[in-house]
Amino acid sequence: MVLSPVLEPPSPSFSPSLPIPLHPPESELKTPLLRTRKAQLHDAGAIHHLIDSFTHDNTLLSRSYAEICDNIHTFTIVETSSGQFIGCAALHVYGQHLAEIRSIVVDPKTQKTGAGSLLVRTLLDQAEARRIKCVCLFTRIPAFFQHFYFRVVERQTLPDKVRKDCIHCTRRNACDEIAMAIGELPDSLLASNFYPSRRHADLVQLQL
């Protein structure tokens, strides 16, 4: 299954039935010598250091070293051909209906050379390979993600994300992040199945 845009695409020539070009030719990449790979435990220190350097101004959500180690399997890193770490991103899977791109960051010395794009495309490929129907993210830089056909959505359409992070966030009443998604937005009933709700508790009582 190919992830298709949530809303109408910007280009009149684009058709939602066309596959999103997740694999541009090498020549189209600004830095063809960059590569991605799944993170290993030995990458956790570099990942933590880079994410931490972007948390002081709330650009990124803080992730502890222990949390990164615990979730290392969700991270992908981008590195040079000589193996120098330059960036990372994580794909958090809520279920087949939804995954989220988190903690995407590239070393400032290497930004604007295509590494961020490579990370996004790699994570979208991972989601597609797992037949995940929708990929979401919360961001303050929607212009970057619009390059990959992410569209702005109402945050209420992503209850998994809201329940996982937003309700615990100190900035939840003054949040300036924009919710974006690509693919088929989750059915709200399906999403709520992942968290016990009052309605489901009532249903269980009726069965008893």
Provide the binding-site residues for ligand COA, judged by CB under 6 A.
54, 59-60, 104-106, 111-117, 139, 141, 143-144, 147
**To the nearest whole angstrom, how small is the minimum distance from the Cβ of residue 59 to ligand COA?**
5
CB closer to ligand COA out of 144 and 194: 144
| Helices assigned H by DSSP within 58-197 | 65-70, 115-129, 142-146, 159-164, 188-192
CB closer to ligand COA out of 108 and 196: 108
Cα Rg for the chain, rounded, in angstroms? 18
Query: What 3-state DSSP class applies to 158?
Result: coil
Give 77's DSSP letter.
E
CB closer to ligand COA out of 87 and 183: 87
**To the nearest whole angstrom, how small is the minimum distance from the Cβ of residue 6 to ligand COA?**
17
Q: Which residue is nearest to ligand COA (CB)?
A: 116
- CB within 8 Å of 169: residues ≥ 6 apart: 175
Residue with tokens 């190919």, as numbered in its chain: 2
**To the nearest whole angstrom, how small is the minimum distance from the Cβ of residue 62 to ligand COA?**
13
**To the nearest whole angstrom, how small is the minimum distance from the Cβ of residue 140 to ligand COA?**
7
Residue 103's nearest CA partner among 160, 55, 69 is 55
CB closer to ligand COA out of 114 and 159: 114
